[in-house]
Amino acid sequence: MELQKRCCSRRYEYTKDSVYLTNEQRDFYEENGYLIIRDLVDPELLDACKQRFIDICNKKVQTKGVSAMKDVYLKKLGLKGEAVISRIQNIYFDDVLSKYITYQPIVDIVQSIIGPNISCCHSIFMNKPPNSEKDSSRHPMHQDLYFFPFRPANSVVASWTAVEYVNEENGCLFVVPKSHKMKLQPHDYPPNVESKSFYGVQDVENYSPVNVIMEKGDTVFFHPCLLHGSGPNASKRYRKSLACHYVDSNCDLVDVIGENVRKEQKELSEKWGYGKNGFKMFWKKKCWLVRGSPGSVNILDNKL
Ligand SMILES: O=C(O)CCC(=O)C(=O)O
């Protein structure tokens, strides 16, 4: 009776009814804007993804469609492969790495947050190599919604999985609990940060971030307005992780994104051959149906 009363009186704003989250987990996400699920991803899948990343770095395999980004400082030193590549994006194009995106235990939790019709809109294998310098290695505090044209904000969620042990030393993720309740803040390049698109919010000293220390396989889900980022890798180890952003396939695709990224994304959309006004098509090409029915963000031929 008590449970029933609680269930009917509680108004959930950031999550959906489902069987995959306990009420406690659901309440935590609603309140804090993130949720850590320990030991969620099979270590064998993570090992396969790590090896695939190394093979792509060493050009042993080539996957059309994925794009690599290098650590700005280590690139200047002339380092190669895994020692310099800081991320590869659009991993849904890769047969091995895309298994992370469709991994059932992750998608079940995503369903509990954004509902049953799910597309992946952005996906990354991240690698923070050692031996870089602070402003090249850190990821400034930001809100992901600044980069995304999907609305409402609650129709987007990120998953972030540790591929190896991550702590403050090797540059784990940090989050600002409850910041998902804030509106979108202005973003710009922080002083000394040269990595492309690594925009951050100003006045970071006003916020109190907490480090998300994770063992291999632990996964954090978070809201696109949650302030987050990561520190530099000051260790001698790598910091590898997988991340995917999921959207409700029926959400709105709007033309309003952060001023700074708008120009970059229009350039990218031109480069991909969709023209100056092909911004929405550019995003639709990036939206890959993962579960449920296709919707407004999908087109049928989005695999190369
Ligand atoms: O894992 C990290 O270093 C931060 C990644 C991140 O926040 C992002 O790509 O939006």
CB distance 228 to ligand 1 below 6 Å? yes
| Ligand 1 centroid, distance to 243 Cα (angstroms) | 8
Ligand 1 pocket member 127 (CB < 6 A) = no
- Pick the most confident of 12-26, 193-207, 272-286: 12-26
Ligand 1 atom closest to Cα of 230?
3
Please compute the mean of the pLDDT values over residues 170-192 and round it to a whole number.
95
Q: What is the pLDDT of residues 11-40, one digit of tens each?
A: 899 999 999 999 999 999 999 999 999 999
Instruction: Tell me how far CA of residue 244 lies from CA of 11, 189, 234, 270, 286, in angstroms.
Output: 27, 23, 25, 24, 12
CA 120/CA 288 separation, integer angstroms = 5
Distance of CA 238 from the midpoint of ligand 1 (Å): 15
| Average pLDDT in the chain | 92
Domains and CATH numbers, the chain: 17-291 (2.60.120.620)
Reported as a single tens digit per residue, the pLDDT across 58-102 is: 999 988 889 999 999 999 999 999 999 999 999 999 999 999 999
CA–CA dist 40, 33 (Å, integer):
19
Q: Which residue minimizes the CA distance to atom 5 of ligand 1?
A: 229
Q: Which atom of ligand 1 is nearest to the CA of 142?
A: 7
Atom 6 of ligand 1: nearest residue by CA position:
229
Residue bearing the CA closest to ligand 1, atom 2: 230
- CA–centroid distance, 139 to ligand 1, in Å, is 6
214-241 pLDDT, tens digit each: 999 999 999 999 999 999 999 999 999 9
CB of 193 closer than 6 A to ligand 1?
A: no
For position 281, what pLDDT does the model report?
Answer: 85
Q: Would you place residue 1 in the very low, low, confident or very high pLDDT band (cuts 50, 70, 90)?
A: very low
